Structure 1
């Protein structure tokens, strides 16, 4: 079992250098443009209400806000939220961010047109319960966008990133077939788009499994 405070400490410590990764900070024009094109194709017509779960430093939130969407972001790590708020404010873009549990975001009765999460489900102790929570936050006709994969994450060849991470159901990522099987009973339709071959998205060529699952309720 993982400890929430230890997880928070880990991601707080990672926040300062988080955007140094090409696909995190989206600082390179080609990488930023590649993500922008995909998000505009996956997201509903703007303006729509978007919930960015596990938003990190807010790079995807920034792109979605720039496209005209109303963005809410949630992350367990306060330092990630601080950086997300600063990033959108510096760009002159609106956005609402709060610290909270990604598995069950405290959004009350609010519903969204798009719920997006990138590289998060592998960190969750009960990812299938989280998926049910996320789908419940969608309006009829809404879109669930999960950008996931199986990759060589920190600690996969040695110590787990936090104590107990090796017991997580999807530690190290989740295969698209397994994620689709978990999401399919919750939605009306879904599709999977492979992303491994698009080096622009990652700032380099990758040889592991990366994909997007796009589902509609």
Structure 2
């Protein structure tokens, strides 16, 4: 496991600036307000100062920046040291409201029952053991706490010719529209090699996630496969038309 985890960290270390720039586009556009609304509509009914939020796989600090600006306090973790440094840089105005830690999403170092909300975006798909990650997120949640996991069927085209054709169509549409192709700033060959080694590239999600959350013990499990319509820009819609983002959520009920 350590070898693949290190490969993933090394890859994302090369993506720090490019990924941060993509996040900046979102934050500087209307999406910041859209994302905040999507999150707040689902947060437990608590005062901002009392709500303990954990952002797993924070990357360059997308969620902490949005939430801290809105008055929330956030604990954020990522395994890639360079991403954490970038996240601190991107959120320096709100450093008193954010705590950053280097941690593996699959092996969190927090005590049980610590958080009201666990949020994550574009992370689970590139984990070697996503089931273990979900178990950890369940463990650190308080009773009544919720997870909000935003992800997509990234790299399903490696296993499905129809998805491959749809992915290629996305690339053509982005070029035709003269927009930035988000895949051109990546080492796509390297990422595809990693995607072949992790289990979720070949799974049909969020159906897979729902079954896993049930087995772990989550209650009130819900999915929203149209959530992308609430938060994506036109550029994102063209880049990722074949891999629409979904939301899977669940609550930690009474034992």
TM-score by length of 1: 0.86
Structure 2 residue 62 is the aligned partner of structure 1 residue 59: yes
* Offset from partner CA, 1:54-94 (integer Å, 9 cap, x none): 00011111222233322111101111111111222234652
- 3-state SS of paired residue (1:20): helix
Q: 1:154 to 1:10 in 2, by over 3 A?
A: farther
Return 148-157 or 163-172, whichever deviates more: 148-157
Q: 1:26 to 1:173 in 2, by over 3 A?
A: farther
| Bigger proportion of residues as strand | 1
Give the structure 2 partner of residue 169 of structure 1.
199
* Root-mean-square deviation (Å): 2.7
How many pairs are equivalent?
216
Segments of 5+ residues of structure 1 without an aligned counterpart are none
Task: Return the match for 2:209 from 179, 186, 189.
Answer: 179
- 3-state SS of paired residue (1:57): coil
Segments of 5+ residues of structure 2 without an aligned counterpart are 165-187
Give the Cα–Cα distance (whole angstroms) in 2 for the partners of residues 10 and 197 of structure 1: 26
Give the Cα–Cα distance (whole angstroms) in 2 for the partners of residues 145 and 118 of structure 1: 9
Contact 1:194 1:211 in 2 (8 A): yes
Return 67-76 or 116-125, whichever deviates more: 67-76
Matches within 5 A, 1:1-217: 3-21=4-22, 26-44=26-44, 45=46, 46-47=48-49, 48-91=51-94, 94-109=97-112, 111-152=114-155, 159-161=189-191, 163-171=193-201, 175-185=205-215, 186-195=217-226, 198=229, 200-204=231-235, 205=237, 206-207=240-241, 208-217=243-252
* Offset from partner CA, 1:78-121 (integer Å, 9 cap, x none): 11111111222234652000112111122234610001111111
Contact 1:49 1:71 in 2 (8 A): yes
Contact 1:53 1:115 in 2 (8 A): yes
- 3-state SS of paired residue (2:21): coil
Q: 1:203 to 1:61 in 2, by over 3 A?
A: farther
Greater gyration radius: 2
TM-score by length of 2: 0.75
Q: 1:153 to 1:8 in 2, by over 3 A?
A: farther
Contact 1:54 1:75 in 2 (8 A): yes
